[in-house]
C-alpha cells in the first residue's frame, strides 16, 4: 500500500522538502501520478473580516476537502500559508475527467465556506499536471504552478491543466517586458490606424491608434497579450506616450500638407490618469505641435472607472476643458451604471462588439440597443459601434440609430503607410 499522510491537520502536514522526499519514494509505484497546486485567494481579506482563528479553520477545511477526504490524493504539503500541494494518482481518469473531479470538489468547498462565511468571496485556484516518467518534483511543481497561474483571477474557471502550449505561452509572457524595452530603445513601437466610418456621411471621420511590437522571433504581438503585463509592471505609460507622440506627428504632417484632418484616438490607462505629471507631458506634446486639441481623443475603458472615480472624473474634466475629446470604450462589457456614465465628461460612447452582437440577435435586444443609442444621443454623446464585420450586422446596427462604425467591414488596423495610401493620399 502507498504511503499516505493525510490524517493530519494542515499545520502537521510534511514540509515541502519532506513532501518531495516522501513523494520521490512512492511516485514510481503510482498509477498515473499527478501534482496539484492550490492557491486560496482572499485569505487576508477573510482574516480581516472573521479573524485569524476562522482563517485557520478555512485552511484546515481546504486541506480536508482537497487532501484528507480526497480519494485520489496520496500526499499533501502546505508550501505557504495559503498554498497547498497535493500528490495523487489519476488512475483511469483522463485529464478532462481529472479537471471535472477537482472542479466538483472546489464547488463543494466554496459552497461550504459560503454557508458559514458568505461575505469574503473565497476563491480557490487549482493547477494540475500529469507527471511523466523521470519528472523531478521541482519540474512537476513548476508545471502545476504554470497551470494554476494560467487561470489567475478567472472566476469562471477554477481549474487549469498543464500543456506544453501553456508553458510556451508562459515563456512568451515572461519575454514581453524585455521585448518591449528593446522596442522602445530601437524605435520598434509601431502604430496601426483603424478607421472610424460615418454611414451617413459615407466617409472616414476618425481613426484609432493601436500599438504593436515584435517578439524576439519577429512575430507581431497582440496588445491583449502585452498591455495587461505592462500595466501590472507600471510601465504602460511609456507605451501610451509613444503612441500619442507618433499620432501627433502624423496630424502635424497632414496639417502641413493641407490634408483634411480628423480626430485620432489613443488609449489611456488608469496608471496614466493617476500621474499628474504624465498628463501634463501629454498636454505639452500636443501644444508644442500646434494642432487643435479636439483632434486628440483619449479612450478609456470602464475598468478605469473602478478605481478612484472622483479623482478620475476630475482629471477627465480638466482634459475636456482643455479641448481634448474623451471616449468611453467597451461599453456593455463591464458593470458601470448609467448614473456613473452620466458623471463622466465624455464625448463618445463606444459599444463593445460582444454587447452589440448579443443585442442584435432578437427584437428585444434590438429595442434595448436602440433605446440606449437614442438616450446617449439625447444627452449629446456621440455613439460608435465597434467590431462590425458583416453588412447584415451594419444594417441592424444602423436601424438602431448608430451611424458611426469601426470594424473589419470597413477596414482592419493598418500600418501607417498603408493607411495614408488608402485614406490620406488617395
Tens of pLDDT, residue by residue over 205-251, are 999 999 999 988 788 988 988 898 898 888 999 999 999 999 999 99
Give me the phi and psi of 330, to 5 degrees please: 60, 35
- Quickly state the pLDDT bin for 48 (edges 50, 70, 90): confident
Lowest mean pLDDT among 277-286, 324-333, 372-381: 324-333
Percent of the chain with pLDDT over 90: 57
Q: What is the pLDDT of residue 1?
A: 31
**CB within 8 Å of 93: residues ≥ 6 apart:** 32, 72, 101
Of the candidates 346, 270, 343, which has an alpha carbon nearest to the alpha carbon of residue 308? Answer: 270
Q: Are strands 190-198 and 414-415 parallel, antiparallel or unpaired?
A: antiparallel
Interatomic CA distance for residues 230 and 158, integer angstroms: 25
Strands (DSSP E) contained in 199-344 are: 203-212, 264-267, 296-301, 325-331
DSSP letters spanning 180-232: HHHHHHTT--EEEEEEEEETTTTEEEEEEEEEE-B-TTSPBPPHHHHHHHHHH
C-alpha cell at 125: 485556484
Interatomic CA distance for residues 60 and 296, integer angstroms: 55
CA dihedral 404, 410, 414, 416 (to 10 degrees): -60
Question: For 63-105, what is the HEC assignment?
Answer: HHHHHHCCCCEEEEEEEECCEEEEEEECCCCCHHHHHHHHHHH
Q: What is the pLDDT of residue 5?
A: 44
Whether residue 308 is predicted with pLDDT greater than 80 in this model: the reply is: no
User: What is the average pLDDT across 315-319?
Assistant: 92
Whether residue 279 is predicted with pLDDT greater than 60 in this model: the reply is: yes
C-alpha cell at 155: 472566476
Indicate the SS3 state at residue 33.
Answer: strand
C-alpha cell at 297: 481623443
Distances (CA, A) of 324 to 149, 266, 298: 39, 11, 7
C-alpha cell at 368: 434595448
User: What is the average pLDDT across 55-75?
Assistant: 92
Whether residue 76 is predicted with pLDDT greater than 50 in this model: the reply is: yes
C-alpha cell at 262: 480628423
User: What is the average pLDDT across 328-333?
Assistant: 81
147 with 162: CB under 8 angstroms? yes
Tens of pLDDT, residue by residue over 124-139, are 899 999 998 888 888 8
Percent of the chain with pLDDT over 70: 92
Write down all domains in the chain, each with its CATH number in brackets. 10-171 (3.30.70.270), 175-424 (3.20.20.450)
Give me the phi and psi of 17, to 5 degrees please: -65, -45
Q: What is the pLDDT of residue 306?
A: 61
| Residue indicated by cell numbers 524576439 | 216
- Quickly state the pLDDT bin for 336 (edges 50, 70, 90): low
Could you tell me the pTM of the whole model? Answer: 0.66
Amino acid at each position: 500500500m502507498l504511503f499516505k499522510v493525510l490524517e493530519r491537520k494542515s499545520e502537521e502536514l510534511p514540509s515541502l522538502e519532506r513532501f518531495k522526499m516522501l513523494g520521490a519514494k512512492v511516485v514510481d509505484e503510482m498509477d498515473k501520478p499527478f501534482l496539484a497546486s492550490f492557491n486560496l485567494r482572499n485569505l487576508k481579506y477573510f482574516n480581516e473580516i472573521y479573524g485569524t482563528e476562522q482563517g485557520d479553520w478555512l485552511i484546515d477545511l481546504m486541506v480536508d476537502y482537497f487532501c484528507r477526504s480526497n480519494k485520489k490524493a496520496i500526499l499533501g504539503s502546505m508550501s505557504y500559508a495559503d498554498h497547498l500541494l497535493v500528490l495523487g494518482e489519476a488512475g483511469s481518469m483522463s485529464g478532462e475527467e481529472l479537471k471535472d473531479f477537482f472542479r466538483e470538489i472546489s464547488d463543494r468547498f466554496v459552497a461550504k465556506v459560503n454557508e458559514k462565511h458568505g461575505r469574503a468571496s473565497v476563491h480557490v485556484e487549482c493547477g494540475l499536471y500529469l507527471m511523466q516518467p523521470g519528472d523531478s518534483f521541482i519540474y512537476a511543481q513548476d508545471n502545476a504552478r504554470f497551470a494554476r497561474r494560467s487561470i489567475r483571477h478567472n472566476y469562471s474557471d477554477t481549474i487549469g491543466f498543464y500543456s506544453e502550449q501553456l508553458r510556451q505561452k508562459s515563456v512568451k509572457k515572461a519575454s514581453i517586458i524585455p521585448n518591449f524595452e528593446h522596442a522602445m530603445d530601437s524605435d520598434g513601437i509601431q502604430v496601426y490606424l483603424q478607421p472610424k466610418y460615418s454611414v451617413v456621411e459615407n466617409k472616414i471621420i476618425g481613426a484609432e491608434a493601436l500599438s504593436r511590437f515584435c517578439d524576439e522571433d519577429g512575430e507581431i504581438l497582440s496588445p491583449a497579450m502585452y498591455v495587461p503585463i505592462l500595466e501590472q509592471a507600471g510601465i504602460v505609460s511609456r507605451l501610451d506616450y509613444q503612441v500619442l507622440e507618433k499620432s501627433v506627428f502624423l496630424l502635424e504632417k497632414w496639417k502641413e500638407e493641407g490634408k483634411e484632418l480628423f480626430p485620432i484616438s489613443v488609449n489611456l490607462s488608469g496608471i496614466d490618469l493617476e500621474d499628474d505629471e504624465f498628463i501634463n507631458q501629454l498636454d505639452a506634446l500636443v501644444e508644442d505641435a500646434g494642432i487643435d486639441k479636439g483632434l486628440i481623443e483619449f479612450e478609456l475603458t470602464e475598468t478605469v472607472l473602478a478605481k478612484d472615480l472622483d479623482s478620475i472624473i476630475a482629471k477627465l474634466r480638466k482634459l475636456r476643458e482643455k479641448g481634448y475629446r474623451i471616449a468611453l470604450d467597451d461599453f456593455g462589457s463591464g458593470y458601470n451604471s448609467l448614473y456613473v456614465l452620466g458623471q463622466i465628461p465624455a464625448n463618445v460612447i463606444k459599444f463593445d462588439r460582444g454587447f452589440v452582437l448579443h443585442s442584435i440577435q432578437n427584437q428585444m435586444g434590438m429595442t434595448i440597443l436602440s433605446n440606449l443609442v437614442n438616450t446617449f444621443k439625447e444627452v449629446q454623446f456621440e455613439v460608435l459601434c465597434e467590431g462590425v464585420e458583416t453588412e447584415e450586422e451594419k444594417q441592424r446596427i444602423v436601424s438602431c440609430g448608430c451611424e458611426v462604425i469601426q470594424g473589419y467591414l470597413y477596414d482592419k488596423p493598418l500600418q501607417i503607410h498603408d493607411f495614408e495610401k488608402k485614406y490620406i493620399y488617395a
